[in-house]
Amino acid sequence: MILTVLGVKGGVGKSTVSMGVAIWMSKKKRVLLLDGDPRVRSVELKLRPKGKGSLFDILSGKLEWREAVHPCTKAGLPSLSVIPAGRLFLPPGEDWIERLRLAARSLDRMLEGARKEFDHIVIDTPPSVGYEHLLLTATGERVLWVCEPNDDSILSTKTAAQDFSRICELEPAGVVLSKVLERRDLREWVRKAREIAPVLGVVPFDEAAERAFRRNMPVVLDAPQSRCSKSLKRIAQKLLGMEGRPVSVEWRLGVMLEKLGV
pLDDT per residue of the chain (262 residues) written in tens, 0 to 9: 999 999 988 889 999 999 999 999 999 999 999 999 888 888 988 987 777 899 999 988 889 999 999 999 867 899 999 999 987 766 556 688 888 898 999 999 999 999 999 999 999 998 866 677 888 888 999 999 999 999 999 999 999 899 888 888 788 999 999 999 876 678 899 999 999 999 999 999 999 988 998 888 999 999 999 999 999 999 999 999 999 989 999 999 999 988 888 7
Structure confidence at residue 184 (pLDDT) = 65
Quote the domain boundaries for residue 45.
2-260
Amino acid occupying residue 24? W
The domain tally of the chain equals 1
Structure confidence at residue 92 (pLDDT) = 59
Task: Check if the beta carbon of residue 145 is closer than 8 Å to that of residue 158.
Answer: no
* Residue 251: CATH number of its domain: 3.40.50.300
φ, ψ of residue 208 to 5 degrees: the values are -60, -35
Structure confidence at residue 91 (pLDDT) = 58
Round to whole Å and give the CA distance between 22 and 32: 8
Structure confidence at residue 99 (pLDDT) = 85
- Per-residue burial over 93-117, b = 16 or more CB atoms within 10 Å of its CB, e = otherwise: eeeeeebbbbbbebbbebbeebeee
Structure confidence at residue 129 (pLDDT) = 63
Listing DSSP states for 79-115 in one string gives: EEEEE---S-SS-S-TTHHHHHHHHHHHHHHHHHHHH
> pTM score > 0.85 for this model?
yes
Smallest Cα–Cα separation from 259: which of 143, 137, 146, 156? 137
Amino acid occupying residue 140? G
Structure confidence at residue 170 (pLDDT) = 80
Structure confidence at residue 169 (pLDDT) = 77
